[in-house]
Structure 1
Amino acid sequence: MVSIPEYYEGKNVLLTGATGFLGKVLLEKLLRSCPKVNLVYVLVRQKAGQTSQERVEEVISGKLFDRLRDENPDFREKIVAINSELTQPKLALSEEDKEIIIESTNIIFHCAATVRFNENLRDAVQLNVIATQELILLAQQMKNLEVFMHVSTAYAYCNRKHIDEVVYPPPVDPKKLIDSLEWMDDGLVNDITPKLIGDRPNTYIYTKALAEYVIQQEGAKLNVAIVRPSIVGASWKEPFPGWIDNFNGPSGLFIAAGKGILRTMRASNNALADLVPVDVVVNTSLAAAWYSGINRYMRPRNIMVYNCTTGSTNPFHWGEVEYHVISTFKRNPLEQAFRRPNVNLTSNHLLYHYWIAVSHKAPAFLYDTYLRMTGRSPRMMKTITRLHKAMVFLEYFTSNSWVWNTDNVIMLMNQLNPEDKKTFNIDVRQLHWAEYIENYCMGTKKYVLNEEMSGLPAARKHLNKLRNIRYGFNTILVILIWRIFIARSQMARNIWYFVVSLCYKFLSYFRASSTMRY
């Protein structure tokens, strides 16, 4: 069996979503670990006055590609930017570009999608379903296509607690939904969206399930494979540990916790935090395409689906995530933190809203009042409002657990030769969570917030200052409570003296016991 780099040698690859988080990591890994790949056609739309070529150039000029630039300075020659709009009929390709793609493409990686949980249904269907449909129609015309690799989500069927590596029946016929959306106005679409998505939490997950069914039905004659990652996080190892470039998903919450803005969150401590590093998803995608490609003449009747998750093989819980995030940011604080990092997870509705009022809204209101008094613009309440909106979208995933079958991923791992197992590592059993979360947090500091490590001493000094302020505030609060409530009541004073004397006796007994043992 040929190795993965040998399989990609001389191949032409078509990639969508190259400007997104997952797509750009896949592009870097493909060019670095399969250096003899022929060309990578990157479908990119013009945006904000930038051409497709300029957007691709901006991506490959980033920190992510530093290692590739060192190892293979001529990698740019293999990237061909093609102007395309996935939401337009026939992907808005020019006839010339279309002809080139049809004649020469061997492998497709479809990573493009809208990942916004609050996307309106019409736009989510357009990009996640119709664009996939258009890409399949294009793939059917390709003369040398070997594999169509589609990136979905492990939560596409989150209405089930046990999810196998199969494509389940869709919640609605995609064709009927697409036809209906053509004549509905936006108001009607928004009104029926909750009824349509049913027990799925958002339009993203709903439309990704529809996209899988479209691929199964309309791509039946193609050699298709689907990779379903769970919550995609920072890189584990490649191209370097902790790389992340956005606030999406848990990254924004980690930063908010490190800044001391996020203090409470609705979550279950015991719920599985099914985080999967982005480089594991990329390695799984490249390996799955390799496996489908070398077995294309005897492909199975059903689509090969790979649940790229961690909960079944290396479980980790949200309570543990919270502990390691807070520990990391206390040792290596973010600059200009609002308060010392400390997060309380709760699944109790009343307790959650109590802590929201006490630890989020009240401090934000007081801080904004201080800013107004000093002639500055208030901003903390706006920040808290945005944070709460993000938490609402994520609490479904932090409060529930799922079981994903990963037999196909295990099979794929066993098919790799020893060298490919190292180069394209997908064995999440080797993942050490404490180390990964620390690298993740430091990645948000270095790559998202662009904070230099040389600023750590000042950040630690600022955190100590915040601690002293907190102790001082608590001391003043205790004195006020004493003066207002306890000092005016004989019964309250008696209870106070009793508690203090009990504590004193306990400490005296503990000290005496320690002396006797010595």
Structure 2
Amino acid sequence: MVSIPEYYEGKNILLTGATGFVGKVLLEKLLRSCPKVKAVYVLVRKKANQTPEARIEEITSCKLFDRLREEQPDFKEKIIVVVSELTEPELHLSKPIKDELIECINIVFHCAATVRFNETLRDAVQLNVVATQQLLSMARQMRNLEVFMHVSTAYAYCNRKQIEEVVYPPPVDPKKLIDSLEWMDDDLVNEITPKLLGKRPNTYTYTKALAESVVQQEGAELNIAIVRPSIIGASWKEPFPGWIDNFNGPSGIFIAAGKGILRTMRASNDALADLVPIDVVVNTTLAAAWYSAINRPRKVMVYNCTTGGTNPFHWSEVEYHVISTFKRNPLEQAFRRPNVNLTSNHLLYHYWIAVSHKAPAFLYDTYLRITGRSPRMMKTITRLHKSMVLLEYFTSNSWTWSTENMTMLMNQLTPEDRKASGTFNFDVRQLHWAEYMENYCLGTKKYVLNEEMSGLPAARKHLNKLRNIRYGFNTILVILIWRIFIARSQMARNIWYFVVSLCYKFLSYFRASSTMRY
């Protein structure tokens, strides 16, 4: 069997979602590890203030591509930007471009999607279902297409606790839903959305399930594979450990915890935190396309790209490693010292929200107003709470994913690639969580917040200052409360005198014992 780089040699690739997290990492990895790939056509839509070419130029100029720039200075020559709108018929392509793609494309990687959990159903269907439908329509016309890779999510069927590597029946007929949304107004759509979602938490998971059904039904004549990653996190190894460039998912929560803004979170300590590094997802995707193209399996190959079943990690462990890392390597200008309480108790959660989030934010905003500055902390807390609500479902539940296809695919790799240092290794059993979480947290500091590691001494000094302020405040608070009790309660005074006398007797006994020894 040919190796993965050998297979991609001379191939023309069509990539959607190149401006997204998965897409840009896949683009970098493909060009760097398969240097003889012929061309990568990236479908990019226009933005109001930026051309598609400028968007790709900005992405390929970022730190993610540093290693590729060093190894292959001319890599941009292989990237062909195609202006497109995935939700439009024929992808809104000009006829010459369409004809070129139909004639030359060998592999399609469909990574484009909206990952916003609070997206309206209408928009989520357009971006996740209709876009997939339109791309498949184009793919069926491609004369030299060898494989169509669809990136889904492990939570597409989160209404099930046991999820196999199969495409399940959709919650509704995708075509009927698309047709219905055309005549419904927004109020009606919003009204029926909760009923349609059922046990699913958001429109993202719902429409990704619909998209899988569309892929299976409308791509029946194609050679198709589906990769389902769970919660995608920072890179494990490539292009370098800890790379992350966004606040999405757990990254924003980690930063909020490191800043001392997040103090409590609704989560089950025993629930599995099914984090999967982005380079594991990309390696799996490239390997899955290679396997399906070479072997042409008779069924749609589905790969549950998860970690919980092979290398379990829990939210209590996530909390421990995040807090310990940020205490050793603090973020600059932290609001408070990092400390987070995870709880699944409803009353306790709201108590900590009031005491640890809203009260300090209110006091800080009051201080800002007094000093003539604009208050901002309550707004930050409000945004944080909205994000936390969207994540509660995933931090409070656990799922079991079968990974037989992942194991099979891993065994198809060459012995070199299966090693920890292998180019296309995705064996998460080799992942050391403590090391990964430290790199992840440091990655948010370096690549998301753009903080230099040289600023650590000042950040540590600031954290020590916050600790001293906290100790001083708590001491004053205890003294004030106790003084109030002593002034108002005879029982409190009796307890105080008892404690003082007990301490005096203990000190006297200790002093007498020390004297007798000598």
TM-score range, shorter chain: over 0.9
- Report the TM-score, using the length of structure 1 for normalisation: 0.96
Corresponding residue for 1:472? Answer: 472
CA distance in 2, matches of 1:377, 1:452: 27
Corresponding residue for 2:483? Answer: 483
- Check 1:507–1:315 CA distance in 2 against 1; reply closer, same or farther (3 A cut): farther
What is the aligned-residue RMSD (CA, Å)?
A: 1.9
Corresponding residue for 1:375? Answer: 372
Corresponding residue for 2:207? Answer: 207
CA distance in 1, matches of 2:329, 2:302: 40
State, as a whole percentage, how many aligned pairs show the same letter: 85
- Report the TM-score, using the length of structure 2 for normalisation: 0.96
Structure 1 residue matching 2:140: 3-state secondary structure: helix
Corresponding residue for 2:492? Answer: 492
CA-CA distance at 1:499 after TM superposition: 5.1
CA distance in 1, matches of 2:386, 2:511: 50
Corresponding residue for 2:39? Answer: 39
Corresponding residue for 1:133? Answer: 133
Verify the 8 A CA contact 2:241 2:439 in the aligned structure 1.
yes
CA distance in 1, matches of 2:508, 2:147: 75
Verify the 8 A CA contact 1:16 1:110 in the aligned structure 2.
yes
CA distance in 2, matches of 1:427, 1:512: 65
Corresponding residue for 1:343? Answer: 340
- Check 1:121–1:507 CA distance in 2 against 1; reply closer, same or farther (3 A cut): farther
CA distance in 1, matches of 2:213, 2:332: 47
Verify the 8 A CA contact 1:125 1:207 in the aligned structure 2.
yes
Question: For 1:95-134, what per-residue CA distance to the aligned partner results, in whole angstroms no more than 9, with x for missing partners?
Answer: 1111111000000000000000000000000010000000
Question: For 1:414-440, what per-residue CA distance to the aligned partner results, in whole angstroms no more than 9, with x for missing partners?
Answer: 010122321101100010001101100
- Check 1:383–1:509 CA distance in 2 against 1; reply closer, same or farther (3 A cut): farther
CA distance in 2, matches of 1:204, 1:445: 28
Residue type matched to 1:77 in 2? E
Verify the 8 A CA contact 2:132 2:215 in the aligned structure 1.
yes
CA distance in 1, matches of 2:357, 2:285: 41
CA-CA distance at 1:50 after TM superposition: 1.8
Structure 1 residue matching 2:47: 3-state secondary structure: coil
Verify the 8 A CA contact 1:165 1:405 in the aligned structure 2.
yes
Residue type matched to 2:331 in 1? L
- Check 1:50–1:510 CA distance in 2 against 1; reply closer, same or farther (3 A cut): farther
Structure 1 residue matching 2:488: 3-state secondary structure: coil
Alignment partner of 1:306 out of 303, 306, 318: 303
Structure 1 residue matching 2:348: 3-state secondary structure: helix
Residue type matched to 1:165 in 2? E
- The 5-angstrom pairing of residues 173-184 of structure 1 reads 173-184=173-184
Structure 2: which 5+ residue stretches go unaligned? none
CA distance in 2, matches of 1:450, 1:512: 60
Structure 1: which 5+ residue stretches go unaligned? none
Residue type matched to 1:94 in 2? S
CA distance in 2, matches of 1:88, 1:224: 22
Structure 2 residue matching 1:145: 3-state secondary structure: coil
CA distance in 1, matches of 2:15, 2:471: 55
Corresponding residue for 2:230? Answer: 230
CA distance in 1, matches of 2:99, 2:251: 41
CA distance in 2, matches of 1:155, 1:244: 21
CA distance in 2, matches of 1:513, 1:324: 45
- The 5-angstrom pairing of residues 327-476 of structure 1 reads 327-421=324-418, 422-476=422-476
- Check 1:469–1:177 CA distance in 2 against 1; reply closer, same or farther (3 A cut): same
Question: For 1:326-384, what per-residue CA distance to the aligned partner results, in whole angstroms no more than 9, with x for missing partners?
Answer: 00000000000000000000000000000000000000000000000000000000000
CA distance in 1, matches of 2:46, 2:337: 43
Residue type matched to 1:50 in 2? Q
Q: Which aligned segments of 4 or more residues in structure 1 are displaced greater than 4 angstroms?
A: 497-514
Structure 2 residue matching 1:225: 3-state secondary structure: strand
